[in-house]
Amino acid sequence: MSDELDRIRREMHAVLQQPGVRPDDSLQITRRTFIHRSLLFGAASVGQTFAWWPLLNTIDVAHAAEAPFKFAWISDTHLYPRSLNTRFVDKVVRAVQEVQAMDPPADFLIFGGDLAQLGKIEELELGVELLKDLKIKKYYIPGEHDWYLDMGKKWGELFGQPNWTFDHKGVRFIGLDTVSRGPDYWTAKKMTPEERMGHMATLDGTVAGAWAGVGREQLDWMQKTLADWDKSKPIVIFSHNPLYEYYPPWNFWVRDWREVNDVLKPYTKVTNIHGHVHQVLYNEIGSMRSIGMLATSWPWPYAPEGVPKLTKPMIRVDPGDPFDGVGWGTVNVNADDKVDVEYIMWGRKEVFVQSPEDHDKSIEEVIRPRIADNQYPWENP
């Protein structure tokens, strides 16, 4: 582990993992597997040879009030124009069909960001068109891929305010914008919008820097939003990036996780559900728990360091199967104070590693950042 990461990790541990502090017991993650009814879709619509064994790993969000309900999550579709890439389109279509087929239906859908790959109008509009087939209420938060071509202009026109809040059956939901406050790496280097987007769209790029953050004014807004909320009632916060520090070089974090924790500390039932990592992820930070969701587009490997110890890793993916390692998810909110997330990973009976060899880190590796994006013409002044 690098010295800097080690220092941050120790600090996070000291600040957040105070003795005896952990999420409320009612918020334990549970895992269960069963064959999803979307099985029928797969068999009926495409003659693929891989196994149709989607696995659902559910999180039931719990609270003692009102009726139980379920909502769905889709994120990280990374759509290119249809003329360039139809695979990603096919996967969104499938996810939409499956969410639409949920019985009982989901109360609403959260779209967790990165609808587009390069932020183009055509890509964002394609996403809207594909999601139109889903008739339930939809809420959107932005991803960095949606934002940095026109700095959120088109996204705002399509979806409105990037951060929002609403109450539903005794739960307060908050959507955060963790992507729009990146440091200005483009003006001094006179980048075109496409160049700016290109650097932002490269996960392991070294130019865009620590772009993921909540920002002071949004933190203040969140604090105000929660001020009238009972400290023991459930809160679910959606963000594109995880609200803790996992692996900063890939922005698997928000840089102001300390301040986020300060705001959330008084509340005992906080669940953060996030995208961006394209992988199964679970962590507990102080009294908050955090759950990473699958992408529909492609899975990222686990970062070389910093994977939370509480994460049971997802299974190593078959690179020859475009439907492996990806999917969508649902969140069940039960009346008996339990929270369940269901991972729907297409083509898999088992989402989680079954043996050390199932883990993508079963071959140990030491890797380092790229260099070519920091050389002419983009070298740092």
Partner 1 sequence: MINTSTFLCILRRSTVAGAVVAAAVVVGPASANKDPVTPKQLKLYQEAFMEEVRKGDLLFHGDAAMAEQLGVKLSTTGWACAMCHPMASDTHPHAFPKFQQSMAKFATLRDMINWCIEKPNQGEKIDPESEAMKALEAYITWSNTGSVLVPGKY
Which residues bind to partner 1, rule: CB under 8 A?
80, 84-85, 87, 117, 202-204, 249-250, 298-301, 303-304, 318-320, 322, 357, 360, 362-373, 375
Q: Which H helix or E strand runs over 166?
A: strand 164-168
What are 325's two structure tokens?
Answer: 């390692």
User: Residue 80 CB, nearest distance to partner 1 (Å)?
Assistant: 4
Q: For partner 1, which is the closer residue by CB, 16 or 212?
A: 212
Identify which of residues 1 and 101 has a Cβ nearer to partner 1 in the complex: 1
Smallest separation (angstroms) from partner 1 to the CB of 202? 6
The residues near 39 (Cβ < 8 Å, ≥ 6 apart) are 52, 53, 54
Task: Rank residues 107 and 305 by Cβ distance to partner 1 and give the closer one.
Answer: 305
**Bridge partners of residue 289, in order along the sequence:** 271, 284
- Determine how many CB atoms are found less than 10 A away from the CB of residue 294: 29
Q: Phi then psi for 336, rounded to 5 degrees?
A: -105, 30
Nearest Cα residue to 109 out of 62, 77, 81: 77
Please tell me whether the peptide bond between 242 and the residue prior to it is cis, using omega within 30 degrees of 0. Answer: no
- In the complex, minimum distance from the CB of residue 218 to partner 1, in angstroms, rounded to a whole number: 27
Residue 322 · residue 50 · CB < 8 Å: no
Dihedral sign computed on CA atoms, order 89, 90, 93, 94: negative
Q: How far is the CB of 329 from partner 1 (least distance, A)?
A: 21
State in angstroms the smallest separation of the CB of 34 from partner 1.
Answer: 28
* Beta carbon nearer to partner 1, 117 or 272: 117
Start-to-end CA distance of the chain, whole Å, equals 28
**Which CB, 112 or 205, lies closer to partner 1?**
205
**Cβ closer to partner 1: 57 or 251?**
251
Least separation in angstroms between CB 303 and partner 1? 8
